[in-house]
Structure 1
Amino acid sequence: MAYCGSSQPNAELPVPDSVLPTVASVDRSIKPVLFEIFGEIWTVQSQLGQGVSASVYRVSSGRSTTAAVKEFQANSQGGDYGFHKERSVLEDIQGHKNIVTLYGVFTNHNCMGVSTRCLLLELLDVSVSELLVRCNGGAHGGRAQQGHSMWLVQHCARDILEALAFLHKEGYVHADLKPRNILWSADDECFKLIDFGLSFKQGNQDVKYIQTDGYRAPEAEVQNSLARAGLEGDAGCTAAVDLWSLGVVLLEMFSGIKLKDTVRSQEWKENCAAMVDHIFTSSSLACPAIPVYHLRDLIKSMLLDDPKGRCTAETALLSPFFSIPFAPHIEDLVLLPSPVLRLINLIDDSHLHNEDEYEDILEDMKEECQKYGSVVSLLIPKENPGKGQVFVEFGSSSDSKEAQRRLTGRTFDGKFVVATFYPLSAYKRGYLYQTVQ
């Protein structure tokens, strides 16, 4: 399930054990309008996703706090297995910056008299699945595929490897790592891992069918086949299945190609490493001098058929790939929301050296940007890097996203405005990227 947007915490309260579902199923055509959460009314703003067992909604309280609610379908047995599974895993692994935060659990009683179990979760933003579509403009068929920048691939790889290192140290296997389950946090400026419905304790696998087609490790494929035939395997899968999945995700991000058909092919099964080499040699890169072979070797170490031979999350983080300082592309800063907005193509050099004009521009820009949200600070550098660009720090990423939406394509003094996001951490340090065009 996907969660999108910005996040703010709420108190966590337990669900009374005496409250159990009362009916066999919920009419999925009936969408909730309100949730009463911990005695407060939250309004459903939109539905973010729907699966077989649960739906996810973006919700907002009267205090303008936003969050995500994952509502599980009720069942007649009273097991609510999916709810209890994900709740128990999330409660056990809370506290890591690259894992979605669980704020609380509650029971929802809808207008039809149906009780459903719900998780109140941190609201995140764009998923890697959406990023893959956006980087190609939804390219299909004969249109050329173009992967993400090395900066973005490195950012995602490090964040998720750190999440996995923590998860595996706690003894858990995620077991469903895929682009849809990796989301960007605009406020924390990092990627986070979500959806722990198939997770299990290593050595105590209680889920027969794990991982999604296209991201399924060879040993999980064998185990799933045995389970369908009613047979038991020798042993459950290990944390190595997560590294296989991440290897495929990173290869898709680098190449811009969905690899589901590729990883199911006989050619892939016979010589996966050769196919990875082929993808790297055939991908056109704007900066071929960058040693992309470090990324290639990292991915290949995740895609070994023998799970015992695969790198662990901890050893993967030691790869030379993570020692290379990449710069973001402008496209990266358009795709990844943050509380800071950068406006380009607005100001001439002549405006910067006339103090009166400069102060007037600062006031005008602040007044304009305050129409879209709370402005914390505003900077227009007079020298490079960043000369003549306008950096606006908003009170929240939702404010900056609204400003980016409203300002993009606007004209000022006959010039078209280009509005991108900008990393808050870099802005706070006074570090202004010379972005790759």
Structure 2
Amino acid sequence: MSGCVWGAAPLLEALGRLWEVQAPLGSGSSASVYRVRCCGDPRAPPGAVKEFVPPPPRPGPARRPGARPPAADCAEYGFRKERAALEQLRGHRNIVTLYGVFTNHYSANGPSRCLLLELLDISVSELLLHSSNQGCSMWMIQHCARDVLEALAFLHHKGYVHADLKPRNILWSAEEECFKLIDFGLSFKEGNQDVKYIQTDGYRAPEAELQNCLAQAGLQSETECTSAVDLWSLGIVLLEMFSGMKLKHTVQSQEWKTNSSAIIDRIFASEGVVNSAIPAYHLRDLIKSMLHCDQGKRASAEKALCSPFFSIPFAPHIEDLVMLPTPVLRLLNVLSDASLQCEEEYEDILEDIREECQKYGPVVSLLIPKENPGKGQVFVEYANAGDSKAAQKMLTGKIFDAS
């Protein structure tokens, strides 16, 4: 599986198919991610290619025995590490799907290794930006917390630690209507930690912070990082989703280290938090259970899933439905009762709606219930969530009639 013409033409060959490179999605120190779509099959779901890019070779003396491996070796190691993790964790609905691997022989700096992945939608980081410092809805927080905990329970059971859980690495799957974990570049098997510098500032557990500091000083930590570091990170993510605030400086403050519980209480009691009117004690207690400084007292993912917080039925806000697209578009207040009662008028409007909706992509199915539940609403299923999202922008507020 190889062959790519990244530069001259935005096409690549992978898994026996030709893919168009549509846009860059992001880049890090050793890898770049691109949105791709399968050529010749408009119904095929788009994908994402993560390319581990070797840096340009630098002239210089030969590497000394025992010296740090060159960056090219690091790129190959990162590829092998993430591939192994994704292959062993394949099949869980809350973990990004690996479709396959291939080599890009046309990279400017020599052959590069690539992962072809499921394309996901909006990240929790982007959702926090949209929340305008008011916090996410309780429905969204609950949905995200449950999905991520399900993923963590699975990968911890497999012996893995994610080790870089943060808002940018939790993405919404519009096709499956759930949150998924991505980026396993720092993951490791518990008891076999091969990377000392784990997690990201602001989401780093105390034991990982200590380990990092000791490693910088050339010392060995007596405490190993375990799956508990992932629960700490998730606790911070949920606290940020509730408050709508980035908490990096808060969790690095001396006040937090002295009494984090009091700061959490203060956040939940704040008048500036939209959710403060909702009895959120269960969420507060769930977050506290993840943020014990002593990793031995931190809740496991399986135990956290038993929290009473998950027994509360929250309904999504209209903003949630707009921000978290799905392949199914729901239009409200589109038809009058009179249109529903007249069969001929109903059929004409149905055809008009189908014709209008098909302007934005292939329509898989269309339903307009004549009775409750859903009476008068229009449900349009598109082949993919991108088409649904485009249609929603243009059709929301539009009224159809037979005149």
The TM-score with structure 2 as length reference comes to 0.88
* Equivalent pair of 2:207/2:223 in contact (CA under 8 Å): no
User: Alpha carbons of 1:355 and 1:411: their partners in 2 closer, same or farther (altered >3 Å)?
Assistant: closer
Of 144, 152, 159 in structure 2, the residue corresponding to residue 156 of structure 1 is: 144
Q: CA deviation at 1:35?
A: 1.9
Q: CA deviation at 1:120?
A: 0.7
Give the equivalent residue in structure 2 for 1:429.
Answer: none
CA distance in 2, matches of 1:72, 1:384: 52
Of 4, 27, 52 in structure 1, the residue corresponding to residue 29 of structure 2 is: 52
Aligned pairs for 1:106-121 (under 5 A) are 106-110=102-106, 112=108, 114-121=110-117
Give the equivalent residue in structure 1 for 2:65.
Answer: none
The amino acid across from 1:366 in the alignment is R
Of 67, 83, 93 in structure 1, the residue corresponding to residue 47 of structure 2 is: 67
Task: Please give the secondary structure, in 2, of the residue aligned with 1:371.
Answer: helix
Q: CA deviation at 1:367?
A: 1.4
Task: Please give the secondary structure, in 1, of the residue aligned with 2:198.
Answer: coil
Number of residue-to-residue matches in the alignment: 380
Of 53, 77, 82 in structure 1, the residue corresponding to residue 78 of structure 2 is: 82
Of 295, 307, 316 in structure 2, the residue corresponding to residue 307 of structure 1 is: 295
Give the equivalent residue in structure 2 for 1:433.
Answer: none
CA distance in 1, matches of 2:340, 2:284: 45
CA distance in 2, matches of 1:259, 1:384: 45
Q: CA deviation at 1:148?
A: 1.0
Aligned pairs for 1:251-290 (under 5 A) are 251-283=239-271, 290=278
What do the CA deviations read for 1:198-255 (whole angstroms, capped 9, x no partner)? 0011111110100000111111111111111111111321110000000000111111
CA distance in 2, matches of 1:221, 1:113: 35
Task: Please give the secondary structure, in 2, of the residue aligned with 1:177.
Answer: coil
The amino acid across from 1:116 in the alignment is S
> 1:103 aligned to 2:80?
no
Task: Please give the secondary structure, in 2, of the residue aligned with 1:74.
Answer: coil
* Equivalent pair of 2:50/2:116 in contact (CA under 8 Å): yes
Aligned pairs for 1:233-248 (under 5 A) are 233-248=221-236
Which moved further from structure 2: 315-324 or 36-45?
Answer: 36-45
* Equivalent pair of 1:36/1:42 in contact (CA under 8 Å): yes
Which moved further from structure 2: 199-208 or 88-97?
Answer: 88-97
Task: Please give the secondary structure, in 2, of the residue aligned with 1:99.
Answer: coil
> 1:362 aligned to 2:350?
yes
Give the equivalent residue in structure 2 for 1:324.
Answer: 312
Which moved further from structure 2: 278-287 or 261-270?
Answer: 278-287
CA distance in 1, matches of 2:355, 2:22: 28
Q: CA deviation at 1:406?
A: 3.2
Give the equivalent residue in structure 1 for 2:17.
Answer: 40
Aligned pairs for 1:149-298 (under 5 A) are 149-283=137-271, 290-298=278-286
Identity of aligned pairs, percent? Answer: 68
> 1:123 aligned to 2:119?
yes
Q: CA deviation at 1:68?
A: 0.6
Q: CA deviation at 1:351?
A: 2.6
Q: CA deviation at 1:345?
A: 3.7
The amino acid across from 1:34 in the alignment is L
* Equivalent pair of 2:137/2:275 in contact (CA under 8 Å): no
* Equivalent pair of 1:32/1:110 in contact (CA under 8 Å): no
User: Alpha carbons of 1:349 and 1:240: their partners in 2 closer, same or farther (altered >3 Å)?
Assistant: same
Q: CA deviation at 1:408?
A: 4.2
Q: CA deviation at 1:283?
A: 4.8
CA distance in 2, matches of 1:408, 1:386: 16
The amino acid across from 1:151 in the alignment is W
User: Alpha carbons of 1:365 and 1:156: their partners in 2 closer, same or farther (altered >3 Å)?
Assistant: same
CA distance in 1, matches of 2:302, 2:108: 49
CA distance in 1, matches of 2:288, 2:115: 37
Q: CA RMSD in A?
A: 2.3
CA distance in 1, matches of 2:243, 2:7: 40
* Equivalent pair of 2:261/2:288 in contact (CA under 8 Å): yes
Give the equivalent residue in structure 1 for 2:330.
Answer: 342
Q: CA deviation at 1:48?
A: 0.3
Q: CA deviation at 1:374?
A: 2.1
The amino acid across from 1:105 in the alignment is V
Give the equivalent residue in structure 2 for 1:24.
Answer: none
Task: Please give the secondary structure, in 1, of the residue aligned with 2:330.
Answer: strand
CA distance in 2, matches of 1:32, 1:257: 42
What do the CA deviations read for 1:108-143 (whole angstroms, capped 9, x no partner)? 01164721111111111111111111122xxxxxxx
User: Alpha carbons of 1:257 and 1:200: their partners in 2 closer, same or farther (altered >3 Å)?
Assistant: same
What do the CA deviations read for 1:378-404 (whole angstroms, capped 9, x no partner)? 222344443332211122223212312
**Greater helix fraction, Structure 1 or Structure 2:** 2
Of 338, 347, 363 in structure 2, the residue corresponding to residue 375 of structure 1 is: 363
Q: CA deviation at 1:41?
A: 2.5
Identify unmatched segments of 5+ residues in structure 1.
1-12, 20-28, 137-144, 414-437
Give the equivalent residue in structure 2 for 1:397.
Answer: 385
CA distance in 2, matches of 1:165, 1:377: 36
* Equivalent pair of 2:141/2:242 in contact (CA under 8 Å): yes
CA distance in 2, matches of 1:404, 1:148: 21
The TM-score with structure 1 as length reference comes to 0.82
Q: CA deviation at 1:74?
A: 1.4
* Equivalent pair of 1:184/1:191 in contact (CA under 8 Å): yes
